[in-house]
A and B are shown apart, each in its own frame.
Chain A
Amino acid sequence: MFDREYLKKEMEKLDGLVTERLDFYLIGGGSMSFQNLKDATKDIDVVVRSEHDLKLLRDALVRMGYSVPAVRGPYKQMQASLIMENWDGFRWDIFVIVICGGLRLSDAMLFRAVELFRLDRVLVHMISLEDIFIFKSVT
């Protein structure tokens, strides 16, 4: 399991490697870690808003040493656009707008989301607790 300090460090490393501004939204346990509702998490669920942002994120994660793991049962069902894992076993489940084949990151969700922190190029947002409740119910 990985605590919020680990998550923050990974995002700082990411910030040093992305080539353009990148916004993403934390929608699950990772977001709860940053809100002190969870001590640690084994992965983070992230939503980006375009295929371009997905490529930016993927390229930077690859440069950080992440790779695509063998996808097993429940994770496969989540229909993530991309799953990447590092040597520590920390995993990013990345979605482009649509989560788990049905739920969409709606305009209302974007409106309710708040900026968690802003690095040089990376902006990390977290969706509202109400929206986390919806996503966690589904996943």
Chain B
Amino acid sequence: MYQLFLQGLDFTVIRDEIIWQNEQDRNVAWLAFFFNGVEEVVERYSVVIPFYEEFHDLAYSDMVSQMILDRLGKGDADVEELVRELGVEDMEVHLDKLVEKELAINNGGGTYSLNSGGLLS
């Protein structure tokens, strides 16, 4: 990774690709692994990686999405329950993204369920 970094990578290309992949992705989770890899390079070699904060925010959102999907996999839940159980801020924002990706279903009245069909497709 560090060897690659030393080649003078164009991080705009990396950011654009990550954002595109994140929009397509239906399995989530991989972005957290991506950020872990980036974080390791930053910590071990004390280098500055462009868009580091943006990568962090994307990975955080990805991780929260995974937590919400895991929870909804155990049964429907409303926003208050999810906030209480997962301790995540801006829960509606994350839920809206999952609904947009067809990974979760908004049942109305603030209740959400897992869209198993979306996960399988």
A residues with CB within 8 A of B: 32, 37-38, 100-104, 106, 108-109, 112, 128-134, 136-139
The reply to whether A38 and B3 form a contact with Cβ atoms under 8 Å apart is yes
> Who on chain A is nearest to B25 by CB?
A102
The reply to whether A130 and B9 form a contact with Cβ atoms under 8 Å apart is yes
Query: Which label, helix, strand, loop or mixed, suits the secondary structure of the B interface?
Result: helix
Question: In the complex, how many residues of chain B place their beta carbon closer than 8 angstroms to a beta carbon of chain A?
Answer: 27
The reply to whether B18 and A138 form a contact with Cβ atoms under 8 Å apart is no
**Measured between alpha carbons, how far is A35 from B9 in the docked complex, in Å?**
14
**Measured between alpha carbons, how far is A129 from B11 in the docked complex, in Å?**
11
The reply to whether A37 and B3 form a contact with Cβ atoms under 8 Å apart is yes
Within 8 Å CB of B11, what residues of A? 130
Cβ-neighbour of A106 out of B9, B14, B20, B28 (below 8 A):
B20
**Measured between alpha carbons, how far is A38 from B93 in the docked complex, in Å?**
43
Cβ-neighbour of A138 out of B3, B4, B7, B33 (below 8 A):
B33
How far is the CB of A10 from the nearest CB of chain B, in Å?
23
Within 8 Å CB of A139, what residues of B? 33
Known A100-B30, A109-B17, A134-B34; 19 more pairs at CB < 8 Å: A37-B4, A37-B7, A100-B33, A101-B27, A102-B21, A102-B25, A102-B30, A103-B21, A106-B21, A108-B20, A129-B4, A130-B14, A132-B4, A133-B14, A136-B1, A137-B1, A137-B35, A137-B37, A138-B33
How far is the CB of B40 from the nearest CB of chain A, in Å?
9
> Who on chain A is nearest to B8 by CB?
A129
For the complex, is B48 an interface residue (Cβ under 8 Å from A)? no
For the complex, is B38 an interface residue (Cβ under 8 Å from A)? yes
Within 8 Å CB of A136, what residues of B? 1, 4, 37
Q: Which residues from 12 to 62 on chain B have a C-beta closer than 8 Å to any C-beta of chain A?
A: 13-14, 16-18, 20-21, 24-25, 27-30, 33-38
